[in-house]
Amino acid sequence: MSMFLNNAWYVAGWSSDLAPGQTIGRKFLGQSVVLFRTQSGVLGALEDRCIHRAMPLSQGHMAGEMIRCAYHGLEYDSAGVCTRIPSQERIPSKARVRSYPVQEQDAAIWIWMGEAERADVADIPRHAMHQDPAWAWRGEHFKVAGNWQLLIDNLMDLSHLPYIHPHTIGGDPDTHFRAKTVAERSDNGVVVRRHMPNSPPPPTYVAAKGFQGPIDRWQEIEFMPVMLRIHTGACDVGTGAYEGRREHGFSMMGFHGITPETEKTTHYFWSMATNILTPGVVDTVFEQTALTFKEDQAVLEQQQLRIDENPLAPLVDIGTDAGGNFARRQLEALMRAERATLSPAA
Ligand code: FES
Ligand SMILES: [Fe+2]
């Protein structure tokens, strides 16, 4: 039974990962893929296995618009069709490899690992902050030795902040306990909202914005299979944070592309954008976010080790799991529907 949702758009990389003429080998959902950009700028994603003798195509290189295998020089176009065999004229009709739909949007490269005819680029979640001059942002790619759903759980339940992240975005535990949390289904996913009125500012907020007194803080999480957007931030108390007047405050807009690599390893493509455009502040926010997410990575990897010792041992839910459980149930339903179309007898 597949443990992945195949029919979904996943982040495969950042646009800046691939200059014209470059190739990258990455595994998504247990399948090895070569990503490339041709000399003219066209993106491609092919099964990373030459049809001739199974050499990884990611070991080859671009020859103009074609990718050339490193072993005997077979060339493929971005649809995966072999266009040249240097040693002969005739090209067998079976000489083709699987190609995956790819699309560049909002500075990320998105890939569809499922049935190609179901892929619709209009379904790719938008993240306009990557193009908006009102925001400054940086992106990263972590490889996490943990299951992808552990990362979704982590991001859907921010009550871990005071424990795991006291030095950056944490803050006083009592503030987090008192936070009213609303979790509900949205049109295409789940949303979680938490408000922390009149609370002490955590260290990153002070470093970025120089808050001197208590703040009205918010955390707004949108889950859309399979990425999350998390808007956190604060304004000085009573200055409109909860009435939609936030421009004068401090915002951190997180993008979290969560792409399973294998059942036990995950690509984490994240970016952090802020509305404070001063160069030093952007650096501080990005560096503190990277530290924060490294703390999460360490947690996920330790969870995975314990889960591996005893995969079927029970886990008990608490109230703050509401949002994460909505996401898990939505994913389960989607995966169940996918399995039903693939094997009606199952
Ligand atoms: S294995 Fe690729 S050309 Fe022979
Ligand atoms: Fe965290």
Q: What is the DSSP string of 7-31?
A: SSEEEEEEGGG--TT-EEEEEETTE
Token pair of 338 as six digits? 């996918």
Ligand nearest to the CA of 85: 1
Whether 129 contacts 270, CB under 8 Å: no
Decide if 169 contacts 204 (C-beta within 8 A). yes
DSSP SS3 for 206 = helix
Q: Which of 53, 61, 84 to mutate to test the pocket of ligand 1 (most atoms within 8 A of CB)?
A: 53
Residue 15 above 80 pLDDT?
yes
Categorize the per-residue pLDDT at 311 as very low, low, confident or very high, splitting at 50, 70 and 90: very high
Q: How many residues does the chain have?
A: 346
Asked whether 62 and 21 are in contact (CB, 8 A), the reply is: yes
Q: Is the pLDDT of residue 345 over 60?
A: no
Please indicate whether residue 52, judged by its CB atom, sits closer than 6 Å to ligand 1: yes
**Which tens digits make up the pLDDT trace of 119-161?**
999 999 999 999 999 999 999 999 999 999 999 999 999 999 9
Mean pLDDT (the chain, rounded): 95
Residue 279's pLDDT band (cuts 50, 70, 90)? confident
Distance from C-alpha of 292 to C-alpha of 161, rounded to nearest angstrom: 9
Q: Would the CB of 70 count as within 6 Å of ligand 1?
A: no
Nearest residue (CA) to ligand 1, atom 3: 72
pLDDT of residue 220: 97
* Ligand 1 pocket member 82 (CB < 6 A): no
Ligand 1 pocket residue status of 185, Cβ below 6 Å: no
Mean pLDDT of 288-317: 97
The model's pLDDT over 259-271, given as tens digits with 9 standing for 90+, comes to: 999 999 999 999 9
Instruction: Give 50 Cα–ligand 1 centroid separation in angstroms.
Output: 6
pLDDT at residue 20 is higher than 50: yes
SS3 of residue 79 by DSSP? coil
Q: Is 290 in the pocket of ligand 1 (CB under 6 A)?
A: no
CB 39 within 8 A of CB 64: yes
What pLDDT, on a 0 to 100 scale, did the predictor assign at position 346? 45
Angstrom distances, CA of residue 314 to CA of 283, 307, 310, 311, 336: 42, 10, 9, 9, 22
Q: Is the CB of 55 under 6 A from ligand 1?
A: yes
Contact in structure between 289 and 254 (CB atoms under 8 Å): yes
Confidence tier at 221 by pLDDT (50, 70, 90):
very high
The pLDDT assigned to 175 comes to 83
CB-CB contact of 146 with 258 (8 Å): no
pLDDT at 344: 56
Going 271 to 277 to 282 to 284, the CA torsion angle's sign is negative
pLDDT, one tens digit per residue, over 173-198 is 888 788 888 999 998 999 999 999 99
pLDDT tier for residue 55 given thresholds of 50, 70 and 90: very high
- For residue 1, what pLDDT is reported? 47
Rounding to the nearest 10 degrees, give the CA dihedral for residues 197, 296, 128, 201.
30
**Whole-number pLDDT of residue 341:** 82
Amino acid at 334: L
pLDDT tens digits along 232-262: 999 999 999 999 899 999 999 999 999 999 9
Q: Residue 343's pLDDT band (boundaries 50, 70, 90)?
A: low
pLDDT of residue 218: 96
Task: Specify whether the CB–CB gap between 98 and 54 falls below 8 A.
Answer: no
Note the pLDDT of residue 79. 97
Q: What's the pLDDT at 34?
A: 99
| pLDDT score recorded for residue 342 | 72
